[in-house]
Amino acid sequence: MTDFQYRNEAHLEPAEFGRFAGLIEAAAQHVADLSAFALPRRIVVCAVTPDVYIARQVEHNVAVTRLALATLPAGSTASELSNSLVDRARRGASTLAAHYYPTCRATLLRRDSGTLDLTFIPEVYDQHLHPTGRQLVTLFAHQLASLAQYEAYPELLFAQVRCSMLDAPKLLPEAQRRRPVVLTPGYSQHIERLVSKALCGQAVVGALPDEPPPSDVYRDLRADLASPVSSRQVDESEAFVVALLGAGGNPLLRQVLGREDLYPTAADLADPTRWLTRHEAAVADATENGSDTAGDG
């Protein structure tokens, strides 16, 4: 049983805030039914303004950077540059969040208190996304599926920052650098599609043809490859995760989420068969010894 704690920092009318709470809890039930990962027992949900979101995104990026730094070997290049890396994370987060916040359907933000809050911006829904209740359930399900993965594998929250710090001094070509950041949104978008199919019979992400379309600003920013959540990058991530599920089901996905040596590279994302060929032993182990099928399709 999950305990939801709600914080109305966007100053919504009680009835409207209650509507969001109902949709989030409906999404949680779908995730409990479809995901391979259990939801945490306590979930903090925050409705915020754009300004609060930007400040919290900075807080999140700094916290994640510090978590990654704490795992590095003493004397490593990144650990010696820790202060500058934290400052860079702070500046980068502020710039990106201020520019791309209209694309924030909902997100998870790490607070200094240690909680990972499900955060959404009602103003974005009003001005840019124009979601129906169905669409809100699916996008909340996406974030709740991510939260469940972080509950099972807490290191995923900072895995990309850690890998980037470790890989950068090796001067690896971009295609060979590890990209664990794709795993969580890839699986979560897969779950989002399954929830959509359960609701309306169509496994879609975003608006149906008869639902209000998002704004031009939203579409343009989501198409920008520099965006942290560009549609193309998330679709590529989902395709990689679906390939994992097809080859070894949830047992293989669990192995990849929990083992740094199995994280995919940028080249693997473009061609998942490269990863499957390189890690034949992991695939064989998952297919021979695994029996977990929840959320496979």
In the chain the beta strands, taken as DSSP E runs, fall at 3-8, 42-47, 107-110, 116-120
pLDDT-based confidence at residue 296 (cuts at 50, 70, 90): very low
pLDDT at 295 over 60: no
What is the reported pLDDT for 202?
97
Average pLDDT over the chain, rounded to whole? Answer: 93
pLDDT digits (tens, 9 = 90+) for 217-253: 999 999 998 887 788 889 999 999 999 999 999 999 9
**pLDDT at residue 76, rounded to an integer:** 67
Whole-angstrom distance, CA of residue 250 vs CA of residue 258: 12
Reported as a pLDDT band with limits 50, 70 and 90, residue 168 is: confident
pLDDT value at residue 297: 43
Q: Is the pLDDT of residue 34 over 70?
A: yes
Express as a percent the part of the chain with pLDDT over 70: 95
Domain assignment present for residue 257? The answer is yes
Residue 15 lies in a domain: yes
Q: Which range (20-29, 65-74, 101-110, 198-207) has the least confidence?
A: 65-74
Residue 110: beta bridge partners? 116
Q: How confident is the model at residue 293 (pLDDT cuts 50, 70, 90)?
A: very low
Tell me what pLDDT residue 83 has. Answer: 83
Residue 292 has pLDDT above 60, yes or no: no
Asked whether residue 296 is assigned to any structural domain, the reply reads no
Mean pLDDT in residue range 151-160:
97
Question: Contact at 8 Å (CB) between 17 and 6?
Answer: yes
Residue 140 near residue 225 (C-beta atoms within 8 A): no
Long-range contacts, 241-244 (Cβ 8 Å, 24+): 241/182, 241/183, 241/186, 241/187, 241/190, 242/186, 242/190, 243/272, 243/273, 243/275, 243/276, 244/272
The residue behind tokens 């975003």 is 206
How many C-beta atoms surround the C-beta of residue 170 within 10 A? 9
Please determine, for residue 201, whether its predicted confidence score (pLDDT) is greater than 50. yes
In a domain, residue 294? The reply is no
Q: Is residue 295 part of a domain?
A: no
The pTM is what? 0.94
Does 77 reside within a domain?
yes
Does residue 297 lie within any of the structural domains?
Answer: no
Domain range for 92 is 3-289
Q: What is the pLDDT of residues 51-89, one digit of tens each?
A: 999 999 999 999 999 999 999 887 666 656 788 889 999
162 near 126, Cβ under 8 Å?
A: no
Instruction: Give the mean model confidence (pLDDT) for residues 149-160.
Output: 97
Q: How many domains does the chain have?
A: 1
- The verdict on residue 142 lying in a domain is yes
What integer pLDDT is reported at residue 80 of this predicted model? 63
Using DSSP's 3-state secondary structure scheme, residue 265 falls into: strand
Query: Do the Cβ atoms of 105 and 132 come closer than 8 Å?
Result: no
Predicted confidence at residue 84, as pLDDT, reads: 87
pLDDT digits (tens, 9 = 90+) for 169-188: 888 888 999 999 999 999 99
Looking at residue 265, its pLDDT comes to: 95
